[in-house]
Structure 1
Amino acid sequence: MTLVKFNPAKNTASVNPWFTDVFESVFNDSVLTDRLVSRVPAVNIAESDADFQIELAVPGLKKEDFKISVDKNILSISAEKKNENNQEGKKFSKREFSYTSFVRSFTLPDTIDHAKIDAAYVDGILKLTIAKKEEAKVQSREIAVQ
């Protein structure tokens, strides 16, 4: 005996394929989904013996758009940018504003040095370097066998 699963999408498509196609195109429209989806920048986090590096992919912003703060062991990175196209003397029937903002927060370990946090924004990448405390750095040495 063969088990056949019921798939309502296939059955309604065979009855009225136009009906299914219209709703799929509306709900899968990239313009609609781009506006509904919250945009959070991608992050790379790396650790070396001396520090941590955090890189955020945030193209199209300026260094003045960023706000970086540390409160206890929480590092918060936020940005806000408003684009308004003001054109005098025109009557608009449709006018769209572009508004971009995000907030990312990271819990920092106790081994970091709060006084040595640097940030640089180059080519759409925000890079933060967070130094470790001297006592937290891994010190390697060779141990002789006796």
Structure 2
Amino acid sequence: MSTLVRYNHLPSFVNPFNVAAEFGRPVISRYHNSLPSVPAVNVKETEHAFELALAAPGLKKEDLNVRVLKNQLTISYKSENKTDETTEKFTRQEFSTSQFERSFRLPKNVDAEQIKASYTDGILTVELPKVVVKEAEAKDIVIG
């Protein structure tokens, strides 16, 4: 059976709920807010394809990016917001960015050229069609 492997971008020993407590601080602290938020992904295998469903409510389709490079599927999002407020005495500018990235190693039986993605009702759906992978056959070579 083929599997999709998730790449973690945080070390496995980092637990966002225990980081502050281990350093003698309250559990709700500035460290908790600085950790990146990564959306959940459901993976479903059917007879003809794998289907990934990524929960991304409230995001703009234009800010989502799905890329395949060297047998690795990467789903990323980046958005930048800027607000300006100007009066006679001061100018205030606030910048905010939000982003995430999820990567999956594709099995050998996925046809990377036929991958399709759609974004509906806050769910990014990526269809990864399967192909039949032929095993390398042994061939005897006649010595001339």
Give me the TM-score of the superposition, normalised by structure 2: 0.66
Query: Aligned AA for 1:50?
Result: H
Relative to its length, the structure with more helix (as a share) is 1
What are the Cα deviations for residues 8-62 of structure 1, in whole angstroms up to 9, with x where unaligned? xxxxxxxxxxxxxxx75xx3337x3552222111111110001011111112211
* SS of 1:85 mapped into structure 2: strand
**Percentage identity across aligned positions?**
39
Q: Does 1:89 align with 2:87?
A: yes
Match in the other structure for 1:19: none
Structure 2: give runs of 5+ residues left out of the alignment.
Answer: 1-23, 134-144
**Take 2:82 and 2:33, find their aligned partners in 1: how far apart are those partners?**
17
Structure 1: give runs of 5+ residues left out of the alignment.
Answer: 1-22, 137-146
Q: Whose RCO is larger (CA < 8 A, sep 6+)? A: 2
* SS of 2:98 mapped into structure 1: strand
**Take 2:48 and 2:58, find their aligned partners in 1: how far apart are those partners?**
31
**Take 1:76 and 1:29, find their aligned partners in 2: how far apart are those partners?**
31
Match in the other structure for 2:33: 35
Query: Aligned AA for 1:98?
Result: S
C-alpha deviation, 1:101, in angstroms: 0.7
Question: Which segment drifts farther, 96-105 or 84-93?
Answer: 84-93
C-alpha deviation, 1:104, in angstroms: 0.7
Match in the other structure for 1:56: 54
**Take 1:132 and 1:103, find their aligned partners in 2: how far apart are those partners?**
24
**Take 1:79 and 1:61, find their aligned partners in 2: how far apart are those partners?**
9
* SS of 2:86 mapped into structure 1: coil
**Take 2:56 and 2:96, find their aligned partners in 1: how far apart are those partners?**
15
Q: What does 1:64-103 correspond to in 2, within 5 Å?
A: 64-89=62-87, 91=90, 96-103=94-101
- Structure 1 outlier segments of 4+, above 6 Å: none
Match in the other structure for 1:47: 45
Question: Which segment drifts farther, 59-68 or 39-48?
Answer: 59-68
Query: Aligned AA for 2:72?
Result: I
Q: Does the Cα contact within 8 Å between 2:50 and 2:129 map onto a contact in 1? A: yes
**Take 2:60 and 2:113, find their aligned partners in 1: how far apart are those partners?**
24
Give me the TM-score of the superposition, normalised by structure 1: 0.65
Relative to its length, the structure with more strand (as a share) is 2
Match in the other structure for 1:108: 106
**Take 2:84 and 2:38, find their aligned partners in 1: how far apart are those partners?**
27
| Structure ID, larger Rg | 1
